[in-house]
């Protein structure tokens, strides 16, 4: 794959937080989803969030983007309290990139027009816009797909396109909601490589979530395991898979990576 060259940052060093979720509880109607949750995202790390379906992974993304207000607690981005900041202001001020689990593109537009559409929102100058689009086209190897309508792209090509669209405003934080779902193993490898390369070439923090562990643990610096509204384990992939609580409540006894 002639994708961006792979320069994995071997051991991740920064201890500075870019996002802090503090003592946060979320309820839907009277059902508690998150229970006094504390989660920090460090600058330039790839953080994996793991947990069963319905545990609250997408809800955490919604708290960061502002799609959902917490019932209790506060959200900080780069040290600023953004708990009451509307979505559009958060995206502009802090350069967030969000790849939802489903959708995120316009099916009847071509791949190129999807990129153009988003770039026109974010980049006023035509020349800079073209430069950015051309960079993404070569970075993601879209050259032969430019005039294909989004609805005719494969699952993996669609996911790549939505990630590319999320990168148009040069985000500092990229949130990927279950990007590997329903994709074949080669496509998953390709996406893992894209994620790892982004960390080294674009200097951004990436948060990726999944309900299955294997694909996610292969490409993150640190993982947190969610269960019953709280983080029950946090650490490197090796650390979390040998964690007792994570084993009994999420992985089971047989789980291993390799």
# binding residues, Mg ion (CB under 5 A): 2
For binding to ligand ADP (CB under 6 A), which residues are involved? 28, 33, 51, 53-59
Token pair recorded at residue 250: 């999420």
Q: Closer to ligand ADP at the Cβ: 110 or 228?
A: 228
Q: For Mg ion, which residue of 40, 58, 114, 139 counts as binding (CB under 5 A)?
A: 58
> Smallest distance from the beta carbon of 101 to ligand ADP, in angstroms?
8
- Quick note: the x/- pattern for Mg ion over 68-97, rule CB under 5 A, is ------------------------------
Helix (H) or strand (E) holding 40: strand 31-42
> Smallest distance from the beta carbon of 8 to ligand ADP, in angstroms?
28
132 Cα distance to chain centroid:
21
Site for Mg ion contains 62 (CB under 5 A):
no
Q: Closer to ligand ADP at the Cβ: 156 or 229?
A: 229
Distance, in Å, from the CA atom of 221 to the CA atom of 48, rounded to the nearest integer, reads 8
Question: DSSP of 59-94, one letter per residue?
Answer: HHHHHHHTSS--SEEEEEETTEE-TT--HHHHHHHH
Largest separation between any pair of C-alpha atoms in the chain? 56
Q: Closer to ligand ADP at the Cβ: 95 or 211?
A: 211
Distance, in Å, from the CA atom of 48 to the CA atom of 217, rounded to the nearest integer, reads 7
Residue nearest to Mg ion (CB): 58
> Smallest distance from the beta carbon of 62 to Mg ion, in angstroms?
9
User: To 5 degrees, how large is the angle CA 98–CA 104–CA 108?
Assistant: 155
> Smallest distance from the beta carbon of 130 to ligand ADP, in angstroms?
36
Distance, in Å, from the CA atom of 193 to the CA atom of 198, rounded to the nearest integer, reads 8
> Smallest distance from the beta carbon of 27 to Mg ion, in angstroms?
17
Please give the residue ranges that form the binding site for Mg ion (CB under 5 A). 57-58
């Amino acid at each position: 794959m002639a994708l961006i060259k792979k320069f994995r940052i071997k051991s991740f060093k920064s201890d500075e937080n870019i996002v802090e979720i503090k003592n946060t509880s979320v309820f839907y109607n009277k059902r508690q989803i998150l229970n006094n949750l504390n989660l920090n995202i460090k600058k330039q790390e790839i953080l994996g969030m793991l947990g069963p379906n319905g545990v609250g992974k997408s809800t955490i993304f919604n708290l960061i983007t502002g799609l959902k207000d917490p019932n209790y607690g506060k959200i900080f981005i780069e040290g600023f309290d953004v708990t009451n900041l509307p979505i559009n202001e958060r995206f502009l001020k802090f350069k967030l990139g969000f790849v939802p689990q489903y959708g995120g593109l316009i099916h009847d537009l071509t791949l190129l027009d999807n990129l153009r559409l988003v770039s026109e929102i974010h980049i006023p100058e035509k020349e800079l816009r073209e430069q950015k689009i051309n960079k993404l086209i070569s970075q993601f190897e879209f050259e032969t797909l430019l005039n294909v309508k989004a609805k005719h792209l494969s699952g993996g090509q669609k996911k790549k396109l939505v990630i590319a669209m999320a990168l148009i405003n040069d985000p500092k934080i990229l949130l990927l909601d279950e990007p590997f779902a329903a994709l074949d193993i080669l496509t998953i490898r390709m996406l893992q490589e894209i994620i790892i390369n982004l960390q080294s070439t674009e200097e951004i923090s990436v948060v990726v979530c999944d309900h299955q562990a294997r694909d996610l643990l292969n490409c993150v610096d640190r993982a947190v395991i969610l269960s019953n509204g709280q983080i029950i384990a946090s650490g490197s992939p090796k650390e979390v898979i040998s964690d007792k609580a994570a084993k009994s409540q999420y992985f089971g006894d047989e789980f291993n990576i390799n």
